[in-house]
Structure formats: structure tokens, C-alpha cells
Homo-oligomer: A and B are copies of this chain.
Amino acid sequence: MKTTINMETAEVAKWVEWLADFGRTANDGVTRLLYDDVWQAAQSALKTKMDECGLRTYFDGVGNLFGRLPGTEEQEKAILTGSHIDTVVDGGKYDGAYGIIASLLAVHYLYQQHGLPKKTIEVVSLCEEEGSRFPLAFWGSGSITGKFNMEDSADLCDANSIPFHEAMKQAGFPPAGKSAVRDDIASFIEVHIEQGAVLEKEKQSVGIATHIVGQRRFNIKVSGESNHAGTTPMSYRKDSMHIASELIAYALNRASKVDDSLVATVGKLTVSPNVPNVIPNEVIFTLDVRHHEESTLAQYCRTIFAYFEEFCAKKDAGLEIEQWVDVKPVQMDQELIGLSDAILKDMSIPYRKMISGAGHDSQMFGTYCPTALFFVPSKNGISHSPLEYTEAEDLKNGVIVLIEMLYRMAY
């Protein structure tokens, strides 16, 4: 196939707006939560669109929507492409939704231009990724890849105390229904907004993910002694705020020194008693650490926690470190990275390889089948906000790359 693909620049943006109508908020953001009314309406409308495009549509047992274009030569395994339909509360129009639109438009284009592929392609609108209604993320991709089953969601309730399985049933997916697990997926291709500012700052149109980072999150509690701010000399103090400030500065400074890819964030901090004239007896803060190599994550955590221990021991202060997230890094498929590389060079689209610092459905698929993940730029790196925005040109570029990729893989 020639690398010139005819598509109006405004085309993709128009379809993104169409999907944003399902759950659009007063701020021009989107709230579309797993199994709720607008979620049902969006999946139903997408099914109609897929039908109109000539795809064979069906839902699995958990509400993932598929649109199948059967291969003429290989039907057993499918190339799966898509992203997730759910959003965070008052989130953006692009996160997840863009990937579904991109896949649908790409497959529609290919079918119109070239007819049926040799290998089966399926577009997927994954039911859930964000964990924003129930405390369970990656429900869609996790169910397909067998990483989650009904037991994992059995005890969960949303903020209104509606049980997960009740919400499933109300949306037309009884938990006792058919399984969502698949063993017939050849590969997974996802297009997504970057949700960061690297492409924009470096003036690149497309990012090829080489890895999705591993994440570790911790709650760190520093226990000192509350005392009067006026009558306690500095040398008598066991000031948990003072100690915490030293630990935070150390951890974040150290992160910059490891390599360009390691990121560490102290996003949440609480002080007790939190009164201006009382020395705090307790500071609790979170530490979120991400890198694409498990060994680097482990080494960084060992180094800073050794420092934390030593520092608190020297100050005779208490230290508790509790880990509450441990997600392993996932590598994207080398062969698909090579193919992406070749395509982007051929198309003369400015691009870079990069590491995904955010989690995506591709991380569920990455350990299950060959997986590729592309990014398009996010304006100012903003995401999970009504201000989330990607230029129409960039939206189109992502679709064009996906068309070429699917063409080379399936035709």
C-alpha cells in the first residue's frame, strides 16, 4: 500500500465529539462510568456504527464490545485493536475514546479501500479501564486476558453502594453469563493520547511505546513528638515535619539522578495536628515511583528507604513504610516496535520511541500477546480533565499510522 491515505483533517475530531455526547458534562468534559446509562448508550451507539461499517458485532460476558472483520485466510486468531469506553469523573473526550474511534475509522477505511483482510481484525470498545466507578481498573482487558474473573469483582460496590454484579446485570450482562476470556487473539494494537507533554515539547507527532512503566506506591508515616512551638528548643525536638521534609527532598532529588525515565511523586501529605504553633507529631505522605525496569525500581526504593531508616533512627523518630501498589513493568512487542518504526520512517511523520508513564489496557495485553501502543500529543500534557485536548491533525496522524500498521499486518 502507498503511504498516502486520504482522510479529512477534521474527520477524526468529529467522531470524537460524537462519542463525547454520551456523558458530556457542563464543562465540556465527559463522565461515562462502567455500566451506567450513558455507558450503555455509548456502547449501543458504537455497536450500531460498527454494524453500519459492515463489522460483525457482539458483546462478551462483561460488556466489551467487538466488531469483527473476518480474514479470508486466517480466521482462528484475530488482530485486536481499540481502547476503553469509560472515563474518570468529569474527564476528557480523548482518553480511551480516541483509541476506539481511531480503530473503528481505520478498519472502516481499510475495508472500504481493500475489502476483507487476509487475517481477521477486531475493533474493541473495552468496557472499563479507569477504576473510577468501582475500585478495580482494567476490568475489560483484564477479563479478556484472564487476569480477572467474576470473583475479583464480586465484593465491590460503587459510591452509592450498588454492588458490581448488580450494576453488570442492570446493564444486560448477568455475571453468570458467558466468560470473557479469549485464547484467539494474535496481537493487540492501541492508539491513545499521551497524557503527558513530552511529544508536544519535543515537537513529535507520534510516540511508539517501548514499555509501560512499573509502579510502586507507598504510604510513609513519620512519627515524632508534638510540642509547643515556642518552649521547645530546636535540639529537643522530634519534629516529624522537619524529618519528612528532609526525606521528601532526598527521595525526589535522588529520582532525578537515577536516569531520565525514573519518576517519583509525593502527591498527598497530611500533618497532625496541623496547627501553626504546635510541632507536628505525625506526617504521612504518599510516594509514587515509576520506571520501566523492575531492577531500577527496586534499586531506587532500596536506596531511599535505607536513607529514610538511617535518618529516622538518627532522629529517634518512628518510620512506617507501607506498600499499596506494585505493578510490574511491561514490554511492548519488539517486532511490532520494529514495524512501527519502519512505517513512521516511511511516512515521514516526526516520532520518537518513549516509555508510557501511565497505565493502559496495553499493559494487560502486553504479557498475553504481542502488543503495540502508540501515542499522539496531549496539549500541555493535560488529561483526566475537561481541558484534555489533542489537535485534529494529531488525531488524524494516529489513525493514519494505525491504518498502515493494520494493513501491513493483516492484508
| A residues apposed to B, CB below 8 Å | 194-198, 201, 213, 215, 217, 227-236, 239, 241-242, 244-246, 248-249, 252, 255-256, 260-269, 271, 274-280, 286, 288, 290, 356-359, 381, 383-384
Contacts and interface: CB of A to CB of B under 8 A. Distances in A.
Contact of A260 (B232, B235, B249, B261): B235
B197 A358 contact: no
A199 B299 CA distance: 46
B252 A242 contact: yes
Contacts of A249: 242, 245-246, 249
Contacts of A264: 234
Contacts of A197: 227, 231-232, 236
A263 B234 contact: yes
Contacts of A242: 248-249, 252, 266
The 8 A-B pairs with the shortest beta carbon distances in the complex, nearest first, are: A196-B231, A230-B357, A229-B265, A245-B248, A276-B286, A231-B357, A245-B249, A245-B245
Contacts of A248: 241-242, 245
A92 B320 CA distance: 32
A231 B235 CA distance: 41
Contact of A236 (B201, B245, B269, B356): B201
A194 B252 CA distance: 40
A274 B263 contact: no
Contact of A229 (B231, B261, B267, B277): B267
Given A245-B245, A252-B245, A196 B232 contact: yes
B229 A290 contact: yes
B381 A263 contact: no
Scoring A194, A196, A290, A384 by chain B CB atoms within 10 A of each residue's CB, the highest score goes to A196
Nearest to A232: B196
Contacts of A290: 229-230
Given A195-B228, A267-B277, 17 more contacts: A197-B232, A198-B231, A213-B230, A228-B358, A230-B288, A231-B357, A232-B263, A233-B263, A234-B256, A239-B265, A241-B266, A244-B245, A245-B252, A245-B266, A266-B280, A267-B280, A276-B288
Nearest to A215: B230
B279 A357 contact: no
B269 A241 contact: yes
9 contacts: A195-B230, A217-B277, A227-B381, A229-B267, A242-B249, A242-B266, A244-B245, A267-B274, A267-B276
